[in-house]
Chains A and B, each alone.
Chain A
Amino acid sequence: MRMHRRTLLALAVFTGLTAPSMALAADDTIKIGLLATFEGPFTVLGEDGERGAMTAVAEMNGTVAGKKIEIVKGSSDASPDSAVRAARKLVEQDGVKVLVGPLSGDEGIAVKDYAKTQPNVTFINGTSAAQDTTLRDPAENFFRFSTDGAQWMAGLGTYAFKDKGYKKVATVAEDYSFPYTQVFGFMAEFCKAGGHVPSKSWVPIGNKDFSSVIAAIPEDVDAIYVALGGADAVNFLTQYQQGGGTAPLIGGSITVDQTVLTSKGKLKEVLKGTPSAGPTADTNDAPAWKAFVEAYKKQPGAFPSPSLFAHGYYVDMKATLLGLDQVGGDVSDGGKKLRDALSKLSFDTPTGKVSLDKNRNAIADIFLTEVTEGADGNLLNKLVKVVPQVNQTLGIPEDEFMKLGAVNRENPSCP
């Protein structure tokens, strides 16, 4: 009898482990995977990305082509391993045929590699902005409507050299593919204009103590280019100010993003007047942008102004929904029709027209900005200039651009 009970228990455990593998979607719903960082140093960024994606879903009243949209969320902690694991769960367990995400640079490259093993699933980027996700060895079923980190820097290098008069700039950036891409985008213009970058500091994600980095910055630079995200940016800027640093700053796209600008503390004085560039500008007067801000603010926990993560996820989710709408929500052919529709898709976003190049990477407007204090005391990115329709090769002919080589810690260089 004892044996019998044990057998029953074993069986119960066993069936419990195997039974839930049911991912049947009803005919009147469309499942979309949403992959973002809900853990780790970029949690705040991931949560705002989700708000952006949900803004797009809300805009369509939660339906596309007459079918109800069901969002299945997956979480990573900004490491490529966790992103692939979450993507696998969404695709192989939850059975999504369309996946929007991920958020961060190396994650994007890892998910692109994974996309190659799932040709029947369509992957649309979140805000991941490493250059090589689409430029080198791209995946047929990976789309990016949100531009890359080098594109985001369009206009900044020239502006820093000519308008601000900085001749020598040191860089401080996180040590992975997205900041490499940002530094590349900044230096491509800045070096061409005649500027010099005598020192580049690369710091690990999640670094807490920046004293050695600050000490290593040369005394005689005109400005410091900072490309750090989330908590890292706040920590660096606070410590730089406390250490008596006075050099003016130039910001990477996510360094002067709302995820950093809204943080409490004495950062205001440090950040005011910092020029930057990116896919959004808070004081953009365009009616489409204003409408987007209002729609975004209806999301729970929203910032005073959407961060570029909210914007990126919004644009990519919007593109996904437009694509699905065009094919009547039909992905039963392994998503082939959807991918054809997406490759040809061109639409007006809150930040201007977006279309794709042959690598399925976006061509879009980029905004040159400067940090200012708004009427209510919040920091804002004031729009300085719009650089229209920047492509992935930054206007340089493709073969010439490819000769510049893959972005990494050493490339480019102009000491």
Chain B
Amino acid sequence: MSLAIATTSATPQRNWLEKLGAGHIILAVALVLYPLVASDFFLTQIGGYSLIFGMLGLSLMLLAGYGGMVSLAQITVAGIAAYAIAILGNNNSSILGLGWPWWLAVPFAVLAAALASALIGWISVRTEGIYTIMITLAIATATFYFAQQNYAIFNGHSGYTGIRAPVFWSVNWRDARPFYYLCLGLAALSYAAVLYGSRSTFGMTLQAIRDNPRRMRALGYHVTAHKVFAWLLAGVIAGLAGVLLVWFNGRVSPGTIGVDAAIDVLIIAVIGGLRHPIGPFLGAVVVVLMQTFAIDIVGAERFNTLIGMVFLVIVFVSPDGILGLWGRIKPHLAQESLRPGP
């Protein structure tokens, strides 16, 4: 409640606490304290996994929400980073595994992912709407089959196993709590970067290009360059998520980057909502919880039907996802609070 007091005594010059907003602070405190109440399973399998998929959704939200480019290739970009970690670092599949230390392998993996993302963007940037979806889906599928059938570099269907998260600063980052904080840190960084970036000149230009590319071109903006740069930035986030994903699973195989996973990322972004960077994280929590526990609710035969139904209901009730749902409930709550007490 002290925060509310701070808000009422606001001076015209807003301090950083106010800029941050009460919602963010509460969320941050809750997420930082989460390990105090959660079991190891809830820390990594639900918490960490949601944050990783939230980052993947975020990279899609950046492209789709601000740039109007819906991509199905974000998991592919993450997969490139994951495979890069497996190939450059250590693995026990006795193929490649160049043994680079993590602090060299990680930047290379993220860089490779970002460049690959920019390349995918460069290929698909001339298309719009459903054609962007199709071309990125084609790229994702092609990469999946390429990985599955290439034995010299990708080790085929089995992929790479035995990949360990590094140990540094005398912390084993594969342990539940450090890994959760690692995911949380990187997710928060990506989230803040996207939020900040969306209000920057580049972010504004990108949104203007989304709304009216012809006018922006006429004004002298290089539309293609802006879009490709957005792909590069989305690639950095997806690449980081890919590094976390390979440390999380301890392995990477074509199944990691299959079409199912690509569609999962799209579902996460759509379920969560594309209007604000928090949306994909909300979507990721819902999807991960559903995928983990639906089998306990309805048994092994029908659980995928239940998952599909829940997603349908969310999109039916609120076409712009959970964020939109919140936007609809909020005015009611505000009204409620204005009513006289009982």
Residues of chain B in range 120-145 having any CB-CB distance to chain A below 8 Å: 145
B interface residues, how many (CB within 8 angstroms): 53
Q: Identify whether the interface residues of B are mostly helix, strand, loop, or mixed.
A: helix
A34-54 vs B, Cβ < 8 Å mask (1 yes, 0 no): 001011000000010010000
Cα separation A110 to B258 with both chains bound (whole Å): 18
Cα separation A148 to B285 with both chains bound (whole Å): 39
A46 to chain B, nearest CB (A): 8
Cα separation A7 to B336 with both chains bound (whole Å): 15
Q: Across the interface, which residues of A come within 8 angstroms of B27, CB to CB?
A: 10
Other-chain contact of B149, A79, A88, A113, A204 (Cβ < 8 Å): A204
A204 touching B148, Cβ below 8 Å = yes
Residue A26 at the chain B interface, CB threshold 8 Å: no
A2 touching B337, Cβ below 8 Å = yes
Residue B177 at the chain A interface, CB threshold 8 Å: no
A81 touching B255, Cβ below 8 Å = yes
Q: Across the interface, which residues of A come within 8 angstroms of B10, CB to CB?
A: none
B22 touching A14, Cβ below 8 Å = no
Q: Across the interface, which residues of A come within 8 angstroms of B171, CB to CB?
A: none
A79 touching B255, Cβ below 8 Å = yes
Residue A17 at the chain B interface, CB threshold 8 Å: yes
A17 touching B295, Cβ below 8 Å = no
A88 touching B158, Cβ below 8 Å = no
Residue A77 at the chain B interface, CB threshold 8 Å: yes
Q: Across the interface, which residues of B come within 8 angstroms of A210, CB to CB?
A: none
Q: Identify whether the interface residues of A are mostly helix, strand, loop, or mixed.
A: helix
Residues of chain B in range 289-309 having any CB-CB distance to chain A below 8 Å: 289, 292-293, 295-296, 299-301, 303-304
A1 touching B337, Cβ below 8 Å = yes
B22 touching A3, Cβ below 8 Å = yes
Residue A370 at the chain B interface, CB threshold 8 Å: no
Cα separation A4 to B4 with both chains bound (whole Å): 9
Other-chain contact of B41, A2, A39, A47, A88 (Cβ < 8 Å): A88
B40 touching A92, Cβ below 8 Å = yes
Cα separation A17 to B50 with both chains bound (whole Å): 12
B256 touching A81, Cβ below 8 Å = yes
Cα separation A244 to B37 with both chains bound (whole Å): 65
Which single residue of chain B is at the shortest CB-CB distance from A406? B94
Q: Across the interface, which residues of B come within 8 angstroms of A358, CB to CB?
A: none
Cα separation A82 to B293 with both chains bound (whole Å): 14
Residue B157 at the chain A interface, CB threshold 8 Å: yes
Other-chain contact of A93, B45, B157, B303 (Cβ < 8 Å): B45
Residues of B within 8 A of A (CB): 1, 3-4, 7, 22-23, 26-27, 30, 34, 37-42, 45-46, 145, 148-149, 151, 156-159, 161-162, 249-256, 258, 260, 285, 289, 292-293, 295-296, 299-301, 303-304, 333-334, 336-337
Given A2-B334, A18-B37, A93-B39: 15 more A-B contacts, CB < 8 Å: A3-B7, A10-B26, A17-B42, A21-B38, A21-B42, A73-B295, A74-B295, A75-B295, A79-B254, A82-B255, A85-B249, A92-B45, A93-B292, A175-B148, A205-B157
